[in-house]
């Protein structure tokens, strides 16, 4: 017979409260970055494209990890992230060249990065 020692109810309650606090904080930061980008850059376009560039880079990194292993994935992480930004900025985000839209792009990239 396998016995399982579960944490005390007070510890579970504290962990649940900490997780809820962290989740709400992350949500506030993401919504706050979207509101800041929309207010300052007057568009959510750059913010959304920044998020897309992060998702593209993470997808490429997962594929690299699966195909080539962790050592190669570790050394190709930064080049893949920069390549994803370059692809998005040279195709879909051609209008993101001024200070405000490019800052919104960074907010979007960081907001989605915050989720992972």
Q: Cβ(109)–Cβ(51) under 8 Å?
A: yes
Report how many domains make up the chain.
1
pTM of the model: 0.74
25 within some domain: no
55 within some domain: yes
C-alpha R_g of the chain: 19
pLDDT at 63: 93
58 within some domain: yes
Range of the domain at 104: 45-116
Q: Cβ(38)–Cβ(111) under 8 Å?
A: no
The CA distance from 37 to 99, in Å, is 11
Q: What are 61-99's pLDDT values in tens digits? A: 999 999 999 999 999 999 998 999 889 888 887 878 888
38 within some domain: no
């Amino acid at each position: 017979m396998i016995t399982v020692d579960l944490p005390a109810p007070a510890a579970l309650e504290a962990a649940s409260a900490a997780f809820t606090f962290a989740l709400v904080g992350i949500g506030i930061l993401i919504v706050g970055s979207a509101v800041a980008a929309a207010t300052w850059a007057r568009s959510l376009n750059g913010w959304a494209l920044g998020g897309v560039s992060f998702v593209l880079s993470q997808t490429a990194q997962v594929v690299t990890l699966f195909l080539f292993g962790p050592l190669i994935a570790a050394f190709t992480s930064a080049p893949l992230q920069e390549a994803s930004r370059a692809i998005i900025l040279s195709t879909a985000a051609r209008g993101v060249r001024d200070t405000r839209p490019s800052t919104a792009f960074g907010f979007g990239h960081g907001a989605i990065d915050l989720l992972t």
